[in-house]
A and B are shown apart, each in its own frame.
Chain A
Amino acid sequence: QVQLVESGGGLVKPGGSLRLSCAASGFTFSDYYMSWIRQAPGKGLEWVSDVTISGGTKYYADSVKGRFTISRDNPKNSLYLQMNSLRAEDTAVYYCARRKTGSHAFDIWGQGTMVTVSS
């Protein structure tokens, strides 16, 4: 079945780094734009980053620009988020999501991975 599975979350100190991964299965990964979306504890959803099908164009929320880097490996059906210079306010569940073809909606979501930034 169509599935996205995130991994790589954990506890990290302020200023530290973490790399999230998202493994896709059940669909042709290389046919879709992909996104990262996060949700701080008890808060709403926040779009973080998008990457085009080829990986050649990337978009970022102002809150993470210059600190986070999105990438993808189509042969490995995988999406990544490299997070540097982490801050307490980056603490959240990070979801990887598939962008619906021809739309700007997110039609498939992973279960999420928790990132906690704390000393």
Chain B
Amino acid sequence: QSALTQPASVSGSPGQSITISCTGTSSDVGGYNYVSWYQQHPGKAPKLMIYDVSNRPSGVPDRFSGSKSGNTASLTISGLQAEDEADYYCSSYTSSSTLYVFGTGTKVTVL
């Protein structure tokens, strides 16, 4: 089971919007509405930001939104803020014996 493909880095200025893509296959991203997104600051544990493609857990700002089209999921951060600078990982449930696959990770830089 290969990792989902994400861009290595994405950057934007404060207040701008950025989108991170997460590309898989019909056996994972395309086959299920079980894509989730995690934010990880250096030295910290990951934090759930989006689950089931587009749902936000309580406490996550509505600046964060998720979507999916075919085998590609996306995380959009609107109104980018300095504290959004972190690594972001997508994850999907899969039909293989490896139940879950994570993305390669994207470093978001706030300029």
Q: Hey, which bits of chain A sit against chain B, CB under 8 A? A: 35, 44-47, 50, 59, 61-62, 95, 100, 103-107, 109-112
Contact = CB atoms under 8 A, between A and B. Distances in A.
**Most chain-A CB neighbours within 10 Å: which of B48, B93, B97?**
B48
Contacts of A59: 97, 99
Contacts of B84: none
A100 B45 contact: no
Given A44-B102, A62-B97, A105 B89 contact: no
Nearest to A106: B48
Contact of B36 (A35, A106, A110, A112): A106
B45 A111 contact: yes
B24 interface: no
Given A50-B99, A110-B45, A45 B38 contact: yes
Size range of the interface on B? Answer: 20 to 34
Contacts of B104: 44
Contacts of A95: 45-46
Contacts, number: 65
A61 B98 contact: yes
A106 B48 CA distance: 7
A106 B99 CA distance: 13
A104 B34 contact: yes
Contact of B102 (A46, A62, A104): A46
**Most chain-B CB neighbours within 10 Å: which of A62, A100, A104, A109?**
A104
5 contacts: A47-B99, A59-B97, A95-B46, A105-B51, A109-B45
A95 B97 CA distance: 20
Contacts of A110: 45
A45 B45 contact: no
A112 B89 CA distance: 17
